[in-house]
Each structure stands twice: as structure tokens, then as C-alpha cells.
Structure 1
Amino acid sequence: MLALTSVWTTILLAAAVALGPLAIDMYLPALPSMGESLSAGTGQVQLTLSIYMAGFAFAQLICGPLADRFGRKPIMIGGFLLFAVASVICALATNIETLILSRFLQALGGSAGPVLGRAAVRDIYSPREAAKIMAILASIMALAPAIAPTIGGFMVVGLGWPSIFLALGGYALLMAVVVAVGIPEPMHPKHRQSLRIGSLLKNYRAIASDISFLGYTLTNSLAFAGLFAFLSGSSFVLIDFLGVEPQYFGLFFACIVGGYIVGNLIAIRLGRQLVPDQILVRGLIVSVAGGGLMAALAAAQVYSVWAVILPQTLFMIGVGMVLPQTMAGALANFPHMAGAASALFGFTQMAVAATIGMLVGHFHDGTSLVMATTISICAVAALASYLLLVQRHPAPGFEPA
């Protein structure tokens, strides 16, 4: 077993948490071909994305308290095994209804990685240290989504879309083994919580009534929703509207992920001189600039790949600065029930993202306008949430000196 504070533990946690994003990013190039294969419309195919996010959100409310009672490792391993089984069902689906249902099951298992990865970081580190570690973890974790769409695009062309789900199932099995034999249990025994309904409701009520938690969670959720608006609409905009070949979709997507990694690295560097809230507001301003630029270009009917990719990359630089700070800030007040706090945080994040994704799919007009406008609105709303809530109720230790 590795030491909890070792670099390799952080890397393994990042690899485990990456399963959630991989289940989204790797199959994005396959969305149009899945629709053709299963005789499904754009809205139905996009529902496989939104239903995953909805299941991901609700499952966290369950696995968080379970992890606070039984520990992080057993719940994470069980989630990975469920994800693997659901992935096989996805690969064997012969109609869109079966695929939607199996994606929901996939989400139930996949939720364990991110929610318990965040909780594990809070178990191990203080709030200020956790912000830095989450930025490092996010940078490592982003490497997988950077190459996943490219791999997925070539798999669609060469092997068909079901091969993507088989690959995801294999990755989940591998991560179950890695967590079982490589990572110690991070939760301290004194922090174990009861599973009684009354205790669970009391814990969730205490977390949800914390203004600091609400501020960081809402700011994070809105910024993440802007990212999800891109995920939901990008394959249809880039492949169907702008004519990008599926196997090359991932190369453009890598630019977006590169922006996110740059944002993470900027946050790590600024963390030496600034407190997390100062980094957060700078990231939000960058995101508003990126989202606003994309919306302006789309409104002016400037339709090209780079009119989408470059503004979204700028938006993602800001998101890379925002997400680690808001994650650490949301959990700062709850070291004794980090699993439940992480679960409620993740539920809100995914619920908002799923709603935004469904709206993008419903109002998609065949161009980039709906997607770009939605991203811009999410960025502005995230900044407003910071100014109205976070700035007035910062997490302990996050305030400017």
C-alpha cells in the first residue's frame, strides 16, 4: 500500500476519478453514428448523456453516506464493478431505450469515483492544502479526457461504437483492482457516521443550510454546466454542422482539455501568492470572457471550427482555475462528514449540468448559437453567484489577508 500523502496516491486517485469524465468524453464522437445505428433522433441520443448525469447526481446522495459509514474504498470498488457490468449492457444494446437505461446504471456505479475521490482528499488534507491537491489531481485527471475523444473517434470508425463501452468496462475493472491493492483507506475511524435516516437527514440539512457551502457549490455547478453545454452540443456542432470527421473530433477536443489543464496549472502557481478565493474570481472573469466571445461570434454568424474552439479553450482556462477552489471551499467546513458533503455537492453539480444539457439538446437549431449562448449565460451566472454568495461568506482560511 502507498502512503496517503504520496504523489502516487494522488495519481491513482486521479485515475479512479477520471472514470466519470471518460464515460462522457470517450463516446462523444460516437453520438451521431449511434443515432443512425439505433434509429434515434438527436434529442434521444443526447438523452443518453443527460440521463448519465442525472443518475450520476442521484447516486452520489447514496454512496456519500455509505462511504461515511463503511469507508471510501469498499464503496468505490463496488461502484467500479457495477459500472463494468453496465458498460457491457451498453455495448450490447440494440435500441435507444436499452442504451438509455444502461447508461443510467453506468452512472450509478461511476458516481463513486468522483464523490469519494473528493472526500478522500478532504480526509487527508486541510482546506487550503486540499485546494492545491485538487488542482494537481484535476490536471492529472484531465490527461485521460484529452486523448479519450481521439481514441473514441478512431474506435467508432474502425470497430464501431459498442467497442467504446467495452473499453470503458475494462478500465473500470482495472481501477477496482488498483483501488483495492494500492490505496489505503483514507477515512479516520472517528469520522464514521450513522446510516439511520434521521442522522442522514440531519447531516444533509446541516450541510445544505451552510451559506458558504451553497455559494461554492452553486458557483461550481454553473461553471461546470457551461462545460457540459459544450459536451452536450459539441459533437453535433462540430461533426454535423461544421463537417469535422469523427476521428479528428478528439484533436479539437484536446485543445479544450488543454485549456483546462492550463487553468489548473495557473491555479497551482497562483496558490503560492494568492488565497483560493482570489484565484477563483480571476478564473470566473476569464470564463465570462471566453463564453461571451463565443456567443458574440455565433450571433454574428461567424461559423467556423475555430470560432468555437478558441473561445471555449479560453472559457476552460477559467474553469480550470475555478473548479478546484470551489470543490475545496464547499468541503472546508465538513471534515467529519466529507462523504455526505461531497455527495450533496456532486448531486447539485450534476443536476444543474444535466438540466443545461437537456436544454441545449431541446433547443439545438443546427448551428452553434444555442450552445454558445448557453455557455455564456452559465459563465455570467457563476460570476454572479460568487459575488452574491461566496464573496460574502468565504470558506475558513480562504479569505484574502
Structure 2
Amino acid sequence: MSASPPRTAVLAPLVAATLLALLLGLQPLTTDLYLPALPTLARDLGAGMVSVQLTMSALILSFGVAQLFWGPVADRFGRRPVLRVSLACFAAASIGATLAPAIEVLVAWRIAQGACLAAAVVCARAMVRDLYEPAEGARVMSLALSGLGVIAVTGPVAGGLLTAAFGWRSTLAAVALFVGGVLVFVWRTLPETARSLNPRAMHPGPLSRTVREVGSNPTFVAWTALTASTYGGLFLVLSSSSFVYIEVLGFTAAQYGLALGSGSVAYVLGTFVCRRWLVRHGLTGTVRRGAFFTLAGGVGMAAFAAAGMQAPLAVLLPHWLYTFGHGIHQPCSQTGAVGPFPHAAGVAAALAGFVLALVAFSVGLWLGQAIDGTVRPMAYGLGVWAVLTAAVAWTLVQRHGVLKERR
């Protein structure tokens, strides 16, 4: 049985997109703002490459595992109370990370950040399914991810400037301030969006049946494979690019922020193209076309690296192509993964997010061992993820990715 929560308002698409952009934007902000600070952080705390990468990969693993908890909780208690609690805890964890005296303490606080971030992302993805049917949801998600892209553009630029002016701790303090602002906005603006609350959502029996239903659905598998593959390549770039651009190519922290921000501009352009293509080609047709850009970016960077080219444009141009394709894939795949499950959107969003985070964590662990002072680990890794993303977009998604509107 289910119990209906009070419905205070219906969100206008622009308000919904703004809320989604802020909530989903917490993920790139928590990583991207911090990226220009990694080399400085390593020197300041006397930490090795593996430990520094752990501040990223541990956050992502915590982010993935915690989604498995927050998904059923959001289906049981609603999106609004979960967001209020988690965002308050997120702000506190960010303050703790800012004040961390050692790398081990910083890793612990980053784990706490990841666990709180998981609730924001799960609720945001579930809210799309609460409010919209799949086709409209993909358009609203694309609009929200355009806003997220603006955050992603400014994040690394601001991170580079903050690091240069005030040191690495200032980037984490900025995250705390931003999260506090999002909490105030959510508290004042967000009604409960869940169509109904499920009192049995956290009971082991019903929960296990729901998990099996979601995990065995071929449409869920196809779209989740796409979102995890495209994000695997993006996370590889995010985690390794500060060392490639700063240590290998000789960029300053501020210049690196601009370079990473330019990739986010390409991502935003991809979300604009995504919205246009959705009207003409639908979800599956849109990602089929986007895969060409993904493949060109990943294979192009790998080819330049194999030829021994370590010039800025040999990295930047493929970077732009890949992130442009990512801006097409992510709105479609995130919507597609939860589309078949209006009754269990929280669980579906959580499972998809867990798979994505597990992939990213594995990438982070590999990079800690693979970074060798050249562009090759980033370039070859991106080539692999690009091929995998294109293969999923052209096969699994075309066979199983069609979503039916609920009548």
C-alpha cells in the first residue's frame, strides 16, 4: 500500500530545472572546484599520488554506496525531508574538510561529503520522474544540465583563482558556502514532489523485490550502461587533467581552470543540441548521433598520444569533443534509467548512480597507479571509454532504450 503526501504546489519547468541544476550541480562543484588544488594539496600535506587520488575516488565510492541507502529512504519519507537533512550534513562535512590537518582526515571528510551528496543526486533524478513523463523529463533534465554546465564552467576557473590566491582550503570553504545557499533555496522553494510515499519501501522483502525488478529490466540496464560509460571517461579526465595540464603541459592553476572550464562550455553546448535533437529524433536517435562526437574525442586523444604529441591542442580539442558528446548522453541516459519506474524512482536512481560511482571509483584507483608524467594514461583511458560508450549507444540503447509514456 502507499500513502499520499501533501502536495503543496506543481513546479513550473523553469523552477524545476533551476532546482535540479543546483542539486545536480553539487556533484561537479564538489569535484571540479577542487581539482586545480590537487598538486598544491599534495605538496602542503606531504601526500603521495595514491593518497591524493583517494580524496577523489573515496568520495565517489561513498557517493555510490550511499545512494543505495538514500533511494529507498526518499521513496519512504519523500524528497523534501531527505534533502533538508542531507544538505545540512553536507555543509558541515565541507567545513570539516576545509579544516582537515592531514590527508587521512581529509579523506574521511570527503567520504562524508560523498554520502551526503548521494541524497541530493538521488532526489533530483527521482524528482524528474515524479514530475514528468520520460520525453518531457529528458527535455527538462537537459535544461537543468545546461545550468549544471554553467556551474561546471565556473567551478574549475574559480577553483584555480581561489587556489592561486588563498590556497587549496579555500576551494572546500567555497563548497560549504554554496551548499548552504542551496539548502536555503530548497527549504524555501521545494514542495514534496513524490506522487505517493511507500511505507514499505525500506522493508527488506519489498525492497529486494523492487531492486530485482529494476536491475533486471533491459531498458534500465541499457541506459545505466550508457550513463556509466560516458561518465567513466569524464571522470578519468577530471581526475587526471590537473596533473596533465599543470605538470605535463606547464599550465598555471588559473590557466588549468580555464582549460577545464572550456570543456564545460562544450558540455553546455552538447545539452543545447540534445534538446533540439530530442524533439526531432527522440531519446535513442539523439544518443546514436551523440556517440560520434564521443568516439571522435576519445579515439582522437589516444591517437595524438600514440603519435607522441603533447601539445595543448592535442589534448584540448579531443577533450571538447568528448564533453560535447557527454552533454548529449547524460540528460537522455539519466532520464532513461528511471523512466520505467514511476513507482520506484528513488530506487532506480540509486541503483543507476551506484553503478556510475563504482565505475568512477575504479577509474580513480587505476589512475593512482597509472599516472606517469605523460598524457598517455588519460588519452588511452579516454579512448577505451569512448569506444565503450559508442558501442552501448549503438547497440543496447537502440534495442532496449525505447520508453513508453504512462497513460
AA aligned opposite 1:131: A
Greater shift after overlay, 12-21 or 65-74? Answer: 12-21
Match of 2:29 among 15, 22, 36: 22
TM-score by length of 2: 0.95
The separation in 2 between residues aligned to 1:218 and 1:396, in whole angstroms, is 16
User: Deviation digits for residues 150-209 of structure 1, max 9, x if unmatched?
Assistant: 111111121111121112112112211211111111111266653111111111111001
2:186 matches 1:179: yes
Q: How many residues align?
A: 398
Shift of 1:14: 1.0
Residue number among 48, 51, 56 corresponding to 1:44 in the alignment: 51
Does the C-alpha gap of structure 1 residues 36 and 174 become closer, same or farther in structure 2, counting only changes over 3 Å? same
Q: Hey, what's the Cα distance between the residues in 1 that align with 2:200 and 2:31? A: 32
Aligned pair in 2 of structure 1 residues 56, 315: CA closer, same or farther (>3 Å)? same
- Secondary structure of 2:12's counterpart equals coil
1:380 to 352, 375, 387: 387
Instruction: Report the residue type matching 2:174 in the other structure.
Output: A
Residues 21 and 2 from structure 1, CA distance in 2 versus in 1: closer, same or farther, beyond 3 angstroms? farther
The one of 230, 234, 246 equivalent to 2:241 is 234
Which residue matches 1:73? 80
Aligned position for 1:8:
15
Which residue does the alignment assign to 1:251? Answer: 258
State the match for 2:5 in structure 1: none
1:41 maps to amino acid = G
Looking at structure 2, the residues matched to 120 and 366 of structure 1 have their Cα atoms a distance apart, in angstroms, of 43
Other-structure match for 1:141: 148
Aligned-partner residue type, residue 215 of structure 2:
A
Gap runs ≥5 in structure 2? 1-7
Letter aligned with residue 169 of structure 1:
A
Secondary structure at the aligned position of 1:335 is classed as coil
Deviation track 1:276-319 (CA, whole Å, cap 9, x = no partner) reads: 10001111121011111111001111101221111110111111
Distance 1:130 1:169 in 2: 30
Q: Distance in 1 between matches of 2:167 and 2:266?
A: 29
Whether 2:350 is the aligned partner of 1:343: answer yes
Partner Cα distance (1:2, 1:69) in 2: 20
* Matching of residue 303 in structure 1 with residue 310 in structure 2: yes
Asked whether the 8 Å contact 2:13–2:140 carries over to 1, the reply is no
Aligned CA-pair RMSD: 1.4
Q: Deviations over 1:93-147 (max 9, x none)?
A: 1111111111001111111222111110110000111111111111111101101
Kindly state the Cα deviation for residue 344 of structure 1 after the two structures are TM-superposed. Answer: 0.4
Unmatched 5+ residue regions in structure 1?
none
**CA distance in structure 1 between the aligned counterparts of 2:337 and 2:193, rounded to whole angstroms:** 19
Q: What corresponds to 1:356 in structure 2?
A: 363
C-alpha separation between the residues in 2 aligned to 1:6 and 1:376? 37
Report if aligned partners of 1:67, 1:75 keep a CA contact under 8 Å in 2. yes
SS in 1 for 2:194: coil
- Give, in angstroms, the shift of residue 13 of structure 1: 2.3
Q: Hey, which bits of structure 1, 4+ residues long, moved more than 6 A? A: none
User: Following TM superposition, by how much is the alpha carbon of 1:340 offset from its aligned partner in structure 2, in angstroms?
Assistant: 0.5
- Show the counterpart of 1:155: 162
Q: How does 1:266-281 map to 2 (within 5 A)?
A: 266-281=273-288
Tell me the TM-score normalized by structure 1. Answer: 0.96
